[in-house]
């Protein structure tokens, strides 16, 4: 039997497509039932497939309903229903992987985010009906959806909840490209500042007992309105943050191995994702001036005291780095100035440096960087190559 990762992925995809033959189905059953480790592997694969295909079982209305779900996976083929029974541990892994995705994936209609942005260099707002508005343009409309969404200026979008009526929770998505920044006021009054290269998905109006938003990629600074009986959750690919009324910075770029939450005021509880989803009962609670740093490679995290200004200065138009490795500085400069940077610094990239960019343009920043870090740079075809040796 072929139990390679590639073949198992194909079978799981067939599970969602309802295209498995009887023999393929039996093959998948045998693999999942072999041991608990396979259940854990399947949980991760199921999560990835759901995210990629935006397919997910209908979300249960309550946690009680979720707990009552049968420990099985059903597939209907040839007018028959087959059941895959798996061990209790493996079943828990799969169910919890799915339940942790309910917020992200239970909106598979046209209201979900479209990743085919026709103008990647523009700030864009994707509405629940799939239409796209380019923000920061001179001819944009000030009001959308009869005033429930208001573009107050070229740097901010605001929402209001009063009078908004919809039978289902509608979601909007804002994408901010490299070299630009934007701000968002949610319907509960919370303020979200979006840094370069950021994409956020959120409801037009919060419904139910929770307030959930999704950071698909990037960095945001949040000033969350306090609602004691309606907690606010920031959901990222690797981390979930629970807040009541808080100011904090959160960075979760897909191309960086370190994801950070930095608390400025208030309190937050933070939990990294594992095979069992997000367990906030075992979350780390931060105090103001502390950072939660999660390493996506080692899957370990630490909490440490930091100077919050280092991580929040971008909101005020300053790029600050202190004791930061060069190989982490370069991606920040790339996003800040909206230019692709090719890193060829080698071992020098691990050296740490301090610096601040405020009003410098790209050319000035590159000169400062070369002198500060002892590197060379060269512009080639709209990109910048930075290396430890001469690039002539």
User: pLDDT digits over 326-352, tens only?
Assistant: 999 999 999 999 999 999 999 989 999
Per-residue pLDDT for 191 more than 50?
yes
pLDDT at 30: 75
Q: How far apart are CA 223 and CA 132, in angstroms?
A: 26
- Name every residue whose Cβ is closer than 8 Å to that of residue 214 and which is 6 or more positions away in sequence: 103, 104, 200, 201, 202, 235, 236
Q: How far apart are CA 288 and CA 128, in angstroms?
A: 36
Beta bridge partners of 234: 213, 241
Per-residue pLDDT for 130 more than 80?
yes
**Cβ distance 338 to 331 under 8 Å?**
no
Q: How far apart are CA 261 and CA 175, in angstroms?
A: 20
Between CA 47 and CA 209, with CA 174 as vertex, the angle to 5 degrees is 65
Q: Who has greater pLDDT, 40 or 162?
A: 162
Per-residue pLDDT for 61 more than 50?
no
Rounded mean pLDDT, 9-16: 72
Q: Who has greater pLDDT, 123 or 19?
A: 123
Tokens of 369: 């960087």
Q: Identify the weakest region by mean pLDDT among 40-54, 232-246, 307-321, 350-364.
A: 40-54
User: pLDDT digits over 239-294, tens only?
Assistant: 889 887 789 999 999 989 899 999 999 989 998 776 445 666 678 889 999 999 99
pLDDT above 90 coverage of the chain, percent: 35
Query: pLDDT band for position 212 (50/70/90)?
Result: very high
Please state, rounded to an integer, the average pLDDT across all residues of the chain.
76
Tokens of 267: 């309190």
Tokens of 65: 């309903």
Q: How many Cα atoms are found within 13 Å in the side-chain-facing hemisphere of 45?
A: 21
Q: Of 191, 187, 232, give the one whose Cα is nearest residue 214.
A: 232
pLDDT at 118: 53
**DSSP-derived 3-state class of residue 351:** coil
Q: Who has greater pLDDT, 105 or 123?
A: 123
Q: How far apart are CA 206 and CA 166, in angstroms?
A: 11
Per-residue pLDDT for 188 more than 60?
yes
**pTM for the whole thing?**
0.68
Biggest CA pair distance of the chain: 70
Per-residue pLDDT for 237 more than 90?
no
Q: Who has greater pLDDT, 47 or 70?
A: 47
Query: pLDDT band for position 148 (50/70/90)?
Result: low
pLDDT at 211: 92
pLDDT at 217: 95
pLDDT at 339: 93
Query: pLDDT band for position 296 (50/70/90)?
Result: confident
**Cβ distance 300 to 65 under 8 Å?**
no
Is beta strand 239-243 parallel, antiparallel or unpaired with respect to 211-223?
unpaired
Per-residue pLDDT for 203 more than 70?
yes
- Name every residue whose Cβ is closer than 8 Å to that of residue 270 and which is 6 or more positions away in sequence: 239, 240, 241, 242, 261, 283, 284, 285, 286, 292
Annotate 234-286 with three-state secondary structure. Answer: EECCCEEEEECCCEEEEEECCCCCEEEEEEEECCEEEEECECCECCHHHCEEE
pLDDT at 69: 29
pLDDT at 255: 87
Q: How far apart are CA 338 and CA 15, in angstroms?
A: 41
Residue whose token pair is 């006021």:
185
Rounded mean pLDDT, 366-373: 88
Domains, the chain, in order of start with CATH, read 5-105 (no CATH), 109-207 (no CATH), 208-316 (2.60.120.1440), 318-387 (3.55.50.30)
User: pLDDT digits over 93-118, tens only?
Assistant: 444 444 444 444 444 333 333 445 55
Q: What is the secondary structure of 297-315 as a DSSP string? A: TTTEEEEEE--HHHHHGGG
Rounded mean pLDDT, 53-58: 40
Q: Identify the weakest region by mean pLDDT among 100-109, 149-158, 332-341, 381-390.
A: 100-109
């Amino acid at each position: 039997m072929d139990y390679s990762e590639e073949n198992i992925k194909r079978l799981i995809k067939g599970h969602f497509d309802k295209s498995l033959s009887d023999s393929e189905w039996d093959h998948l059953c045998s693999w999942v039932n072999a041991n608990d480790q396979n259940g854990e592997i399947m949980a991760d694969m199921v999560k990835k497939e759901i995210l990629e295909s935006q397919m997910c079982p209908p979300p249960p209305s309550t946690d009680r309903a979720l707990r009552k779900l049968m420990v099985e996976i059903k597939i209907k083929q040839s007018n028959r229903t087959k059941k895959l029974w798996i061990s209790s541990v493996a079943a828990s892994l799969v169910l919890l992987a799915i339940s942790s995705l309910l917020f992200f994936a239970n909106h598979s209609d046209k209201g979900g985010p479209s990743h085919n942005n026709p103008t990647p260099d523009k700030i864009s707002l994707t509405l629940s009906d799939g239409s796209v508005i380019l923000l920061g343009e001179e001819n944009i409309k000030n009001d959308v959806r009869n005033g429930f969404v208001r573009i107050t200026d070229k740097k901010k979008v605001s929402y209001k909840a009063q009078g908004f009526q919809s039978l289902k929770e509608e979601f909007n998505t804002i994408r901010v490209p490299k070299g630009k920044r934007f701000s968002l006021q949610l319907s509960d009054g919370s303020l979200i500042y979006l840094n370069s290269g950021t994409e956020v998905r959120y409801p037009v109006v919060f419904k139910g007992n929770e307030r959930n938003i999704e950071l698909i990629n990037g960095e945001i600074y949040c000033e969350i309105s306090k609602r004691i009986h309606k907690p606010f959750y920031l959901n990222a690919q690797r981390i979930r943050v629970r807040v009541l009324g808080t100011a904090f910075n959160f960075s979760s770029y897909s191309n960086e191995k370190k994801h950070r939450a930095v608390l400025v005021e208030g309190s937050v509880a933070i939990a990294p994702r594992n095979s069992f989803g997000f367990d906030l009962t075992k979350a780390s609670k931060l105090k103001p001036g502390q950072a939660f740093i999660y390493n996506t490679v080692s899957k370990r995290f630490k909490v440490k005291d930091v100077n919050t200004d280092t991580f929040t200065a971008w909101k005020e138009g300053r790029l600050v780095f202190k004791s930061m490795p060069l190989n982490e500085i370069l991606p920040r400069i790339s996003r800040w100035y909206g230019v692709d940077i090719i890193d060829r610094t080698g071992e020098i990239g691990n050296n740490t440096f301090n610096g601040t960019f405020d009003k410098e343009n790209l050319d000035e920043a590159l000169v400062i960087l070369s002198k500060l870090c002892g590197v060379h740079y060269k512009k080639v075809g709209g990109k910048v190559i930075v290396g430890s040796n001469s690039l002539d």
